[in-house]
Chain A
């Protein structure tokens, strides 16, 4: 029983759920397991998946960044207005990434130097970056990006021989790197330490502030990159691109079993969470399930993801205690 409880970690459950949804979908729904559909469904999660990587690191370290979707919008608006002004795309991309990193730096600076909680800081910059996006591009939409670029982000062009669109392939590579960093390096272990007990981590010699700063810069950087992907994928640069996306990212990460209090969770779980939400929504849409019901399903899964590990822990603890009293 104890071994079962040990293996019954929530991130494993999400992985199993993901496989179950895939199998059930292929068995019941025409078109679901078509490569074209899987390409489109995966591509639809591209930005969420990319941002979920640094977000997992942040949440493990007990932090959160709510400004990522606004940074995505700012990056999109910036790319649109520079493109319209006649700049070269090859210049626009590094510039947007630089702005993303600076935005992340501001978040990190406010958290580490001024000492404000990340939730409060990034609620502020969420509004700030979205506001800047509106200043940069106004209510315009820039749409005339050439096919040669937008093809890289859309599901119609995939990595040769596979059904994987390029942004998702890139995500795959980055996910492996992030997983190695999080689970196999001292840096990764220090994130868990900070998330579990920040003061203890500090006195153990971990450079808490420096690490947090790096994480926020990383999140801003990746969010601005996701902004480029978003812009090309939809062929439309707008200041309101990705409104509300930060909640989907955080929901996916939490669904994957990463503890919002920090110190616990795996990257595999977070990735499974992202894919589960994406595939489940696709499957429900194919079956004409209304959007409201989809939102409810996602919500229920989320509640379960927060609740189940605690219930399992409470049950096993009670059993331990009973066993202890019985033996005494």
Chain B
């Protein structure tokens, strides 16, 4: 028995040693590192010429792929987009995963390619994880338009931006600072850690806070509610426990701001902690009326979806190719010009408060 186990042990030792030698040898070999591979995979520029006078094609198949399908905000955007597709005689639909995971969107892109859609509109959960299949789609002449949350720049033709990211980020700090008289501890309640749009805005918020007028305003924490109502609610609770001197919360996500307001409205913090951020009027109406929230802002999501559909149709009809400076008509919204890196900006965000909130229903 003992002799037997000794041989076993020796065999294990030998194997381990062999594995180590192998690993070291492999490590010693001069392998490929990040510095060796300069990206030389530039796609040949599309030779297609834009024809601004081309009519919108009839019967275009356009699909919306939101971050997740049961997100009320995305539903509004996509429904308005599908409505716009009907205006120009195409067929639109919304498909997508029920979780906002980076990888969940990929299989949907693959099936949309198989269904031979004319254009895919995508709000990316991860700018890179969706890139491979989107490039595959563009190779097969399916137009790709990112909206709400961008993909990497070479994986789509256009990005429909709600408002300039800089304007959104900075204005949120400006609004909250004014409400707090420029002093006190504040926190941010975001969506997922990797949401492209959230992180861009937070970047501008932090930059804005560096200005001298905010020297008494201190950002203590960025929390993540994962765009999940329950988690956002708990994160709010956690923030207020962990930072008893907290004076304000910016939640630049519709799920987060509603959950935070729900928590504050039923707690002793009501009237003491200021909530601001991005929300929809219908979700926030109650909290504006009961005094929990004074104001919040958002662009009109219906216009975002509407603009996205017309941009996709203009691409698919050959009116534009996605190059800077090209112009296209977006139905009732009028004419838009494509900016740098294929970006189209919808317009400045709207501020909602008790004076105007009843004018909006979404």
- A, B: real partners: yes
The answer to whether B107 and A44 have CB atoms under 8 Å apart is yes
The answer to whether A236 and B193 have CB atoms under 8 Å apart is no
The answer to whether A150 and B132 have CB atoms under 8 Å apart is yes
- A160 at the binding interface (Cβ < 8 Å): no
CB contacts (< 8 Å) of B330 on chain A: these are none
The answer to whether A40 and B107 have CB atoms under 8 Å apart is yes
The answer to whether B129 and A234 have CB atoms under 8 Å apart is yes
Q: In residues 27-86 of chain A, which contact B (Cβ within 8 Å)?
A: 30-32, 34, 36-37, 40-41, 44, 83-84, 86
The answer to whether A282 and B111 have CB atoms under 8 Å apart is yes
Q: Mark B273-309, 1 if CB is under 8 A from A, else 0.
A: 0000000000000000000000000000000000000
Q: Which of B30, B34, B70, B132 contacts A86 (CB 8 A)?
A: B34
The answer to whether B110 and A37 have CB atoms under 8 Å apart is yes
**Shortest Cβ distance from residue B92 to the other chain A in the assembled complex, whole angstroms:** 12
Q: In residues 99-155 of chain B, which contact A (Cβ within 8 Å)?
A: 99, 101-103, 106-108, 110-111, 113-116, 126-129, 131-133, 136, 152
Given the known interface contacts A44-B110, A282-B107, A282-B111, the answer about A90 and B102 at a Cβ–Cβ threshold of 8 Å is: no
Q: In residues 145-161 of chain A, which contact B (Cβ within 8 Å)?
A: 146-150, 154-156
Measured in the bound complex, the distance between the Cα atoms of B26 and A98 in whole Å is 13
CB contacts (< 8 Å) of A36 on chain B: these are 113-114
- B32 at the binding interface (Cβ < 8 Å): yes
**Shortest Cβ distance from residue B153 to the other chain A in the assembled complex, whole angstroms:** 12
The tally of CB-CB contacts under 8 A between chains A and B is: 127
Binds B, one of A12-20, A193-201, A285-293: A285-293
Measured in the bound complex, the distance between the Cα atoms of B131 and A150 in whole Å is 12
**Shortest Cβ distance from residue A78 to the other chain B in the assembled complex, whole angstroms:** 15
The answer to whether B69 and A290 have CB atoms under 8 Å apart is yes
Given the known interface contacts A235-B132, A285-B111, the answer about A89 and B33 at a Cβ–Cβ threshold of 8 Å is: yes
**Shortest Cβ distance from residue A235 to the other chain B in the assembled complex, whole angstroms:** 5
Given the known interface contacts A141-B126, A156-B132, the answer about A91 and B114 at a Cβ–Cβ threshold of 8 Å is: no
**Shortest Cβ distance from residue A49 to the other chain B in the assembled complex, whole angstroms:** 14
CB contacts (< 8 Å) of A150 on chain B: these are 132
Measured in the bound complex, the distance between the Cα atoms of B192 and A243 in whole Å is 13
Measured in the bound complex, the distance between the Cα atoms of B106 and A281 in whole Å is 13
Number of interface residues of B (CB under 8 A): 45
The answer to whether B107 and A91 have CB atoms under 8 Å apart is no
Q: Which of A84, A244, A291 contacts B34 (CB 8 A)?
A: A84
Q: Which of A139, A146, A242 contacts B32 (CB 8 A)?
A: A146
Measured in the bound complex, the distance between the Cα atoms of B97 and A281 in whole Å is 11
The answer to whether A241 and B103 have CB atoms under 8 Å apart is yes
- B272 at the binding interface (Cβ < 8 Å): no
CB contacts (< 8 Å) of A285 on chain B: these are 95, 107-108, 111
The answer to whether A34 and B69 have CB atoms under 8 Å apart is no
Q: Mark A272-309, 1 if CB is under 8 A from B, else 0.
A: 00000000011001101011100100000000000000
The answer to whether A94 and B22 have CB atoms under 8 Å apart is yes
Measured in the bound complex, the distance between the Cα atoms of B127 and A235 in whole Å is 10
Q: In residues 82-130 of chain A, which contact B (Cβ within 8 Å)?
A: 83-84, 86-91, 94-95, 98
- B23 at the binding interface (Cβ < 8 Å): yes
CB contacts (< 8 Å) of B210 on chain A: these are none
CB contacts (< 8 Å) of B127 on chain A: these are 141, 143
CB contacts (< 8 Å) of B22 on chain A: these are 94
The answer to whether B35 and A86 have CB atoms under 8 Å apart is yes
Q: Which of B32, B41, B70 contacts A90 (CB 8 A)?
A: B32
CB contacts (< 8 Å) of B53 on chain A: these are none
The answer to whether A95 and B107 have CB atoms under 8 Å apart is no
Q: Which of B93, B96, B115 contacts A286 (CB 8 A)?
A: B115
Closest to A84 in B: B34
Closest to B196 in A: A141
- B14 at the binding interface (Cβ < 8 Å): no
The answer to whether B128 and A234 have CB atoms under 8 Å apart is yes
Closest to A147 in B: B41
The answer to whether B107 and A32 have CB atoms under 8 Å apart is no
**Shortest Cβ distance from residue B268 to the other chain A in the assembled complex, whole angstroms:** 32
Measured in the bound complex, the distance between the Cα atoms of B152 and A84 in whole Å is 18
Given the known interface contacts A240-B102, A281-B107, the answer about A148 and B37 at a Cβ–Cβ threshold of 8 Å is: yes
Shortest 4 CB-CB contacts between residues of A and residues of B? A88-B31, A90-B31, A31-B114, A143-B128
10 sampled A-B residue pairs with Cβ under 8 A: A32-B114, A37-B111, A44-B110, A86-B34, A89-B33, A90-B27, A95-B27, A143-B127, A155-B110, A290-B95
Q: A88-B29, A88-B33, A94-B22 are in contact. List 11 more A-B contacts (CB 8 A).
A: A34-B114, A41-B110, A84-B34, A87-B33, A89-B31, A94-B26, A139-B193, A234-B128, A234-B132, A285-B111, A290-B95
Residues of A within 8 A of B (CB): 30-32, 34, 36-37, 40-41, 44, 83-84, 86-91, 94-95, 98, 139, 141, 143-144, 146-150, 154-156, 230, 233-236, 238, 240-244, 281-282, 285-286, 288, 290-292, 295
